[in-house]
Amino acid sequence: MLTGSLHTAQKNRLRMIFTIVLLEYLMFVFSGVSFSFLHGNTFYSLEADPATWLFYLANLPQWITANQWAGILLDTVIITLILLFIRNPYENLIALWLFQLLLLYYVTLMGHLVHHNFQFGFCLVFIPFIFRKETNRQFAFEAARYFLLFFYVSAAWWKLYYHSLSDISHFSHLASSQFTPYYLEANTGVRTAFNLYLVSHPWFGWSLFVASVLLELVIAVGFFTKRFDKWIAILILIFHFSNWFMMDIAPLGQIAFVCLLFISKNLSLNNKQVI
């Protein structure tokens, strides 16, 4: 068990993490893609994923998008629960509700995006906190941490597996399709200028691609020690924000989950604790 001042310090750090979750959800609201704004969106396309199918077989996303009051109610409930959770981040029942509601939101959003966005850290961040007992919470945090590390390391692994690094033009080709709507609408600026530079300078693009693969590989250090978690978090955030700049893929929805690494020493088990 934690002593009083340690307990308060840890609580405050957790409050910061869940404030980021709140900001991420508010970004969905202000962008106009939260439950309320999906009302009337009648088109969706799912992948071959039975877990996603369960929600649609239960008719939940279809019913929510057909009833605006349900969307508004869900947005209100989610924001209220996050606020309550920021007040007390050890309320496991709130964490459980938030995990389920945000998972429902993620499934609904992906179905209507007609495109799989992997960044669902805003749901996963609650997994450790659905456990009431401190030891269980610590074990769940470690599992979630390994999942996070594997998510990024596997991305590097697949790039090596498919020999992506052997083609100098690989990244330039990928970059060429990322900003097309901006060109169509003549909404250009620094990012589109950089995009054009990347496409027309394959060696430069390739060197950035190699750097990103190395960055993803370095994250594997986290499997062996938690000593560098703060630096791993910084690297992942740099990776994500570079991705937004160069590829127009923003990490909004993933930031709080990554930020858990900043406080992993507080949330992890002491090795001797359970042996």
Partner 1 sequence: MMQHAYLYRLFRHSKPAFIFVVCFILFYAATISKKMDMIFFPYNNMYAIDFSANAGSSTYAIKINGNPVKITGNLYWKKDMLETSLNGYCRYLKHNRKVFLHDYIPYKFKNEQLQHRLIDKLTPGEKQAYQWPKWFANAAGYVLKPGDEIEFMEYRFNLAEGQAAMLDSAAIYKTTFR
CB of 15 to partner 1, least distance (A): 25
Place of tokens 């978090």: 233
Does residue 105 bind partner 1 (CB under 8 A)? no
Please name which of 123, 104, 118, 110 lies closest in space to residue 54, comparing C-alpha atoms: 104
What are the distances in angstroms from CA 150 to CA 48, 52, 172?
22, 22, 26
Alpha-carbon distance of 82 to 28, in angstroms, equals: 14
The answer to whether 218 contacts partner 1 (rule: CB under 8 A) is no
Please tell me whether residue 1 binds partner 1 under the rule CB under 8 A. no
Site for partner 1 in 148-167 (CB under 8 A): 151-152, 154-155, 158-159, 161-162, 164, 167
Backbone angles phi, psi at 124, to 5 degrees: -65, -30
Q: Is 204 in the site for partner 1 (CB under 8 A)?
A: no
Two structure tokens written together for 185: 């609408």
Kindly tell me which residue out of 2, 49, 203, 214 binds partner 1, with binding defined by CB under 8 A: 49
Regarding 26 and contact with partner 1 (CB under 8 A), the answer is: no
Closest by Cα among 137, 59, 65, 150 to 96: 137
Closest CA to 22 of 72, 80, 73: 80
Of residues 88 and 146, the one with the C-beta less far from partner 1 = 146
Cβ atoms of 255 and 119 closer than 8 Å: no
116 is a contact residue toward partner 1 (CB under 8 A): yes
Q: Tokens 């088109």 — which residue? A: 43
What distance in Å separates the CA atoms of residue 118 and residue 238, rounded to the nearest whole number? 17
Contact residue for partner 1 among 77, 79, 174, 215 (CB under 8 A): 174
Within a 10 A sphere around the Cβ of 238, how many other Cβ atoms? 12
User: Binding partner 1 by CB under 8 A: which of 12, 80, 88, 197?
Assistant: 197
Tell me: does residue 100 bind partner 1 (CB under 8 A): no
**Residue among 177, 214, 227, 241 that touches partner 1 (CB under 8 A):** 177
- Asked if 48 is part of the footprint of partner 1 (rule: CB under 8 A), the reply reads yes
Choose which of 1, 4, 42, 190 interacts with partner 1 (CB under 8 A): 42
| Residue of 221, 252, 262, 266 interacting with partner 1 (CB under 8 A) | 252
Query: Does 180 engage in binding with partner 1 (CB under 8 A)?
Result: yes
Which residue, 4 or 40, is less far from partner 1 as judged by CB? Answer: 40
- The nearer residue to partner 1, 87 or 173, going by C-beta atoms, is 173
* Closer by beta carbon to partner 1, 195 or else 264: 195
3-state secondary structure of 119: coil
Alpha carbon distance 4, 8 (integer Å): 6
